[in-house]
Structure 1
Amino acid sequence: MSTRGRPRGFDRDAALLAATRLFWARGYDGTSLADLTTAMGISPSSFYAAFTDKRALFAEAVQHYMQRYTAIYIEAVRSATAREAAEKILRDSVDEFTDTERPMSCLVVSAAIQGGRDTIDVRQTLEEHQHALAAILTERIEQDQTAGRLDPGLDAAVLTDWVRTLWEGLSNQSNASVPRTRLHQIIDLAMTAWPAAGAPVRSPASPIRSGSSSRDRSAPQT
């Protein structure tokens, strides 16, 4: 039986992981085909048969990243409350960031952002993915508003952006080798700011009463 087009003698998943580590370390533009085949332990012919080309390989690495974080969000929004969902997203992501057995996924994304024309479509896919994840959390927050667990006047999109901002900060901290335990402590502190049922989050477009001070604007409503 013909085996044309089916490379043999190597573990495809292990090869993809090795390539992802290399993209992490050197960026997309700084990684050559020779670098990839050496790190993956395969010949150029096997590389082309299995992955087509460098851009397709990188797109597959990013796709794997997106699948992992989509799974985190989908599992998290099954939590009893939006607060628990947001906290689970942050904690599970931190565990993913600090998994020493795998490359830091956030750095794979950084490599895509810093890439040239070859990765434009990958960047667009990532942006769409990030918007989709935000929509998942926003919908969960709106469910809590309907159920009376959060103020109906709260701007759900702003609260979602707050969670995403925390996520980005935790990602950057993990890149700077901040240990997992410290990152979880940061989450402990951050979640104390989650709004109570009667504390709406002001939208950037919401008017502020004239003559009110910054102290007035920051005070909790009663």
Structure 2
Amino acid sequence: MKAGRKRAFDKEVVLDKAMRLFWANGYSGTSVANLSSELGINTSSLYGTFVNKEQLFKDALAHYQKQYVEVNYSHLVEPSNATLKERLQACFYGLIELFTSDETPRGCLLVKSLNESDSVAFPEDAVVYIEKSGTETQKILTDLFVSGIAKTDMPKGQTAEKLATYLLSISYGIAVQAKAGKSEEELKSVLDHSLNSILG
């Protein structure tokens, strides 16, 4: 019995390249022909590895979340002696650096995809994934604020849920502004103003 033919490419490298194409051009703006050409693999190999464009896109979203986003959210979930404000600043500074980096397309892949998700051609599974990701982030922030309230380093009269929603809204706006060309310094200043307005 012959051994299975070995793939001639590294799946993770190809996935990262595909993610960058979707990040730059959007789901609808990235065709299978674009993917095949830019990734340097033929269509049959692409389908053989990722099934179809829809699954490749969903895999690219998960890759983005795991490799580029989660490292920043670690500041919010891992034990730390830092203040609530310092933890939030570390997380969102990291995201701003990602959104404005010259090493990747500007902005946020998830926010870009969310803005495109009302398109008829946009995959339903991807919508579910993005919504789940947003819910999980909301919970992370809410839990952190609950802890902050318990430690009394939060202003009275605020609820954890409202503050989490507020910061998520600021984060989405920052991603859009980064895509529009705002600098890292400008966006960090916006974040600092937002944190100062709720935490002093």
- Return the TM-score normalized by structure 1: 0.77
Identity %: 28
> RMSD across aligned C-alpha pairs, in angstroms?
2.2
Larger radius of gyration: 1
**Whole-angstrom CA distance in 2 between matches of 1:3 and 1:181:** 52
Aligned residues: 194
Q: CA deviation at 1:108?
A: 5.1
Tell me the residue number matched to 1:212: none
Tell me the residue number matched to 2:144: 140
Query: Which structure 2 segments of 5+ residues have no match?
Result: none
**Whole-angstrom CA distance in 1 between matches of 2:28 and 2:124:** 13
Deviation beyond 6 Å, 4+ runs, structure 1: none
Distance 1:54 1:105, change over 3 A: farther
**Whole-angstrom CA distance in 2 between matches of 1:102 and 1:195:** 32
**Which amino acid in 2 is paired with 1:85?**
R
**Which amino acid in 2 is paired with 1:74?**
S
Instruction: Find 1:95's aligned residue among 83, 94, 97.
Output: 97
Tell me the residue number matched to 1:210: none
Higher relative contact order (CA 8 A, sep 6+): 2
Distance 1:183 1:141, change over 3 A: same
Q: CA deviation at 1:152?
A: 5.7
Structure 1 contact 23–108 (Cα < 8 Å) conserved: no
After superposition, residues 57-72 of structure 1 pair within 5 angstroms as: 57-67=56-66, 68-72=68-72
**Whole-angstrom CA distance in 2 between matches of 1:141 and 1:109:** 23
Tell me the residue number matched to 2:4: 3
Instruction: Find 1:166's aligned residue among 164, 170, 175.
Output: 170
**Whole-angstrom CA distance in 2 between matches of 1:166 and 1:113:** 16
**Whole-angstrom CA distance in 1 between matches of 2:43 and 2:158:** 55
**Whole-angstrom CA distance in 1 between matches of 2:127 and 2:198:** 31
